[in-house]
Structure 1
């Protein structure tokens, strides 16, 4: 599963860069800002998922899916979709927030990789 998440994160980063480039060079009006915002969020979260996905696959998946929902709703608006689709963005944002909170919880409860098993294993 980790390899799939990493592959999808890389593809997500590529899409984010393409969206940002289109916003900078091919769009006008409010579409520019939607593409810029969607691209920024998608790229930042793709890198986070790529970096943390192996250690925290569940939270990484939540962050990944949230960034796609958020960003693609903005991309759709930029390409002329009905404005009501903007109401979908908060669902993606909520999934990203949930993923980050979940990851914080997991990180706070995981074993310190520097500590040896004998230092923390109470069964021995």
Structure 2
């Protein structure tokens, strides 16, 4: 679990950077929107990794962080000039987030030892 917590902290760090860049370094409204959305989802799901450690849900962190990579990463890439077709994979990140939340709920449901 420790590696997931470290990766989540790194994800939070990157989210701050992309959020600041979106707020201060981007003039295109669509790029700014993508950066804001990617940052919000990255923050929420990096924090969810820490909740996963608390409720002992070991399958949730890789799902959440993979979702951050695919969902937020594709939005960040498009904001930085990647082709818009990359947006076709963004929903895969959303599915990974949903699976992570299911695993977090499952971990919370199980009696804790």
Same fold per TM (> 0.5)? yes
- CA deviations on 1:22-48 (whole Å, 9 max, x unpaired) are 000001221101001001100111111
Contact 1:10/1:50 (8 A) holds in 2: no
Contact 2:74/2:86 (8 A) holds in 1: yes
What is the rounded CA distance, in whole Å, between the counterparts of 1:25 and 1:12 in structure 2? 20
Partner residue, 2:38: 38
Matched residue count: 111
Which range moves more in the overlay, 88-97 or 48-57? 48-57
Higher relative contact order, structure no. (Cα contacts within 8 Å, ≥ 6 residues apart): 2
TM-score when scaled to structure 2?
A: 0.91
What is the rounded CA distance, in whole Å, between the counterparts of 2:50 and 2:27 in structure 1? 31
Q: Which structure's CA Rg is the greater one?
A: 1
Which range moves more in the overlay, 59-68 or 36-45? 59-68
Runs of 4+ off more than 4 Å = none
Partner residue, 1:8: 7
